[in-house]
Amino acid sequence: MSSRSQLHYPWFTLIMSLICIGYLYLSAKGIDALFGTPLPTVTHYQEEAFLIVTAIIALLELLYFQRSKARNKVRQERRDKQFNELLEVRNKLRRKAHTYSDHADKLKLFISDRLLEYIEYDEKFLHFKNIAAEVRHNGIVCYDQVMTALKTAAEQQQDGEQQRYRSALSSMEYLWDLLDLSTTDNIAMYIANKNYECEEHYYQQLLSDGENKPPFAVSYSAQQAVIRALAGFVDIRREGDRALHTHEVYRLQTDLFWIELQQTGHLLGNENHFILLIENLIHNALYYCQAKSRKNRRPRIAIKLTTSSSDLHLTIYNTGPTIQESDRAQIFQLGYSTKRSREHRGKGLGLYFVQQIVKGYEGAIDFENIGNQAETYVIRLEFADGTKQSEIIHTVVSDTGQPLCRYHPSKESKPQAEFRFNTPLTSAEIATQSTQKTVNFLPASAEEKHGEHGEHKKSGGNQFIDPNHPDQPQWCIEYAPGKSRHKLIFRPLDISGVRFSVTLPSAESRLDADYHEVENETLQTPQQLSEDHKRFTN
C-alpha cells in the first residue's frame, strides 16, 4: 500500500492577502484618527510590488495544489485497483475453498470406500493363503506319488524307454519349481536364500574333496541350462547335425536362431530358475520376430553365452522395436508391457520375473538399443573372361531408421543395389571400410568348377551373408546367373532391435573372499567414529 496522501493549505497566500486587506482598510479609515499614529509612507511602486509578490505566491501555491491533486488522484486510483485486486483474490480463495471442500468430501468418501475394499481384500487374501497352504500340502503328497511312480517306471524300462521317463521326471521337477516360485511372497529373496544355501553346501563339498555330498544338486552348468531352455523352441536332436560342437563352444544356427554358447563353468542354485529366465527372454524375442508388421525384416534371434574372470554374460538379441530411455526404469516393473497389439496384450510378467531372478542371483540386467549405421563397402567383381570391376556402395539410414543403398551420389537411395552384366561372375570380394575386413564370395557355379579355395566362403546356394557379424549380419549378396544376363544384388539388412544383457556371478566367484566383503570406504575405525561423534556434537 502507498503512503498516506496529504493536501497542503495555502497559508502564504492567506497571510499576504490578510496583510493587504488590513493595510487597505486602515488606509481608508485613517489610522491616525483611530490610534493617533500616522501610517508609514508607502509609495505607489511599493504597493504594486507587494501585490505582484502576493499574486506570485498565490500562483505558486495554486500550481503546487494542482500537482498535489494529481498525485492524490493517482494514489487513489492505485488504492482502488489494489482494493479491487484484493476483492478478486478473496473471491477466488472463497471459490477455491468451496471447491476443495467438495473435493475433500469426495476424497474422504473415496478413501473410506477403498479402505473397506482393502480390508475385505486382506481378509480374502489371508483366506486364500490358508486355502493355498492346504492345497500345497495336498499337492506335495500328489507330487511325491507321481515322482515315485515315474522313477520306478524309469528303472524298469529298457534304455530306449528310460529317456522318455527321465524327460517326464525333469518336466515334473520344472513344473514343481515354477509352482513353488509362484507362491512365494518375494521371488528375489526366495532365490537368494536358495543360492546361499547352495553356496554353503558347495563350499563344504569343496572342503571335503567331494566326500561330503550335498542332499541335492547345488550347482549346474550354465551352458547345459541354456541348451535345456532352447529345447522348448528348437528341436535339438534334429538340428544336432547342424550344430558345431567343441570342448568349449556350442554353436547352432537355424532359420530363426543364431546360438553360440561358451563353456562358462557352473552357477549355484536351482537350474530351473535360470531356465525360466532364459525362456522368458526368448518368448519376448519370438513375439517381435513373428509380428506381422515386421515380416520384411530378417527373423533372427541371437543368443550368446560368454564368460569373464568372475562372471558369465548372457545376451539375447531380438528384432523388436527400440525401447525409449524414459522407459528404462519401467521396463522391468510388474504390469508394464510394450505389447499392445489387438491379438495379444502383454501382462508385464515376463521381464519382471527375469529381473527378480537376476536379483536373486545378485546379478545385473540391462538392455541396449541396436540401430542401423551408415557404412561404405567396396565390391570387386571378377568375371569369367578375366575382366574386373569395382563398385563402391554407401549405405545410409532413412528417416524411419531403415538401411538404404546409395551406390552413386546423383541417384536416389534404394533398399538394394543391383548390378547386371553379360559375362558370368567367378568371384566377388567385399571390403568394409570401417573394419578394414575383406571377405570373398564364390558363386555356386564357380565353386563347382574350381572346388574349395582357401578363405572363400559360401552360405548356401548363391546367397552370401555377412560372415563378420554372424549374430547380427549387416548385409547379404545374392547372385542370379542367367542364360545371357546375370544379376548381382547387394542388400543391407535391418539389424535394429534390442539386446538384453544378463550378468551373473559364477559359483567359483561366490567363494572368493572379496565377493562378500564390504567396501573399505564404508568401514570406519573407532578413532574415525569418535571424531565424527565429536564433530556432530560440536
58 Cβ partners below 8 Å, 6+ apart? Answer: 10, 13, 16, 17
Q: Specify whether the CB–CB gap between 199 and 510 falls below 8 A.
A: yes
The confidence band for 520, taking pLDDT boundaries of 50, 70 and 90, is very low
Query: What is the mean pLDDT of the segment spanning 234-246?
Result: 61
Beta strand segments in 422-496, E: 425-432, 437-441, 463-465, 475-480, 486-492
Q: Please state, rounded to an integer, the average pLDDT across all residues of the chain.
A: 76
Strand-pairing partners, residue 420, are 487
Mark 185-198 as b/e (b = at least 16 C-beta within 10 Å). Answer: eebbebbbebbeeb
Query: What is the mean pLDDT of the segment spanning 326-342?
Result: 73
* Dist CA 495 CA 482 (whole Å): 31
Matching residue, cell 527400440: 322
Query: What is the mean pLDDT of the segment spanning 118-141?
Result: 55
**Residue type at 63 in one-letter notation:** L
What pLDDT, on the 0 to 100 scale, is given for residue 460?
44
CATH homologous superfamily of 184-364: Histidine kinase-like ATPase, C-terminal domain (3.30.565.10)
Of 438 and 443, which is predicted with more confidence? 438
Strand-pairing partners, residue 425, are 383
Q: At what angle do helices 222-230 and 271-289 cross, to 10 degrees?
A: 50
Span of 74-83, 133-142, 199-208 with lowest mean pLDDT: 133-142
What pLDDT, on the 0 to 100 scale, is given for residue 6?
62
Residue 456 has pLDDT above 60, yes or no: no
Residue 362 has pLDDT above 70, yes or no: yes
* Dist CA 54 CA 17 (whole Å): 7
What pLDDT, on the 0 to 100 scale, is given for residue 96?
82
Of 498 and 55, which is predicted with more confidence? 498
The confidence band for 457, taking pLDDT boundaries of 50, 70 and 90, is very low
> What digits encode the pLDDT tens for the residues 189-203?
888 888 889 998 888
Matching residue, cell 552348468: 221
The confidence band for 303, taking pLDDT boundaries of 50, 70 and 90, is very high
Residue 70 has pLDDT above 70, yes or no: yes
The CB density around residue 10, as the number of other CB atoms within 10 Å, is: 16
> What digits encode the pLDDT tens for the residues 134-190?
555 555 556 566 667 767 777 776 666 666 777 776 776 766 666 666 656 678 888
Matching residue, cell 515334473: 172
Residue 48 has pLDDT above 60, yes or no: yes
Whether pTM > 0.85 for this model: the answer is no
> What digits encode the pLDDT tens for the residues 381-414?
999 888 999 989 999 998 888 899 987 666 788 8
Q: Specify whether the CB–CB gap between 368 and 497 falls below 8 A.
A: no
Q: At what angle do helices 271-289 and 159-182 cross, to 10 degrees?
A: 90
Residue 472 has pLDDT above 80, yes or no: yes
Of 11 and 417, which is predicted with more confidence? 417
Residue 295 has pLDDT above 50, yes or no: no
Using only C-alpha atoms, the chain has a radius of gyration, in whole angstroms, of 46
The CB density around residue 333, as the number of other CB atoms within 10 Å, is: 13
> What digits encode the pLDDT tens for the residues 364-380?
999 999 989 899 999 99
What pLDDT, on the 0 to 100 scale, is given for residue 453?
39
> What digits encode the pLDDT tens for the residues 248-259?
788 888 888 899
Residue 291 has pLDDT above 80, yes or no: no
Query: What is the mean pLDDT of the segment spanning 490-513?
Result: 89
Residue 261: all three cell numbers together: 554358447
Query: What is the mean pLDDT of the segment spanning 258-278?
Result: 91
Residue 306: all three cell numbers together: 560368454
* Dist CA 506 CA 511 (whole Å): 9
Q: Specify whether the CB–CB gap between 468 and 439 falls below 8 A.
A: yes
294 Cβ partners below 8 Å, 6+ apart? Answer: 288, 319
The confidence band for 36, taking pLDDT boundaries of 50, 70 and 90, is low
Span of 239-248, 315-324, 333-342 with lowest mean pLDDT: 239-248
**Percentage of residues of the chain with pLDDT beyond 70:** 67
The confidence band for 538, taking pLDDT boundaries of 50, 70 and 90, is very low
Residue 2 has pLDDT above 70, yes or no: no
What pLDDT, on the 0 to 100 scale, is given for residue 302?
93
DSSP label at 38?
A: P
What pLDDT, on the 0 to 100 scale, is given for residue 363?
93
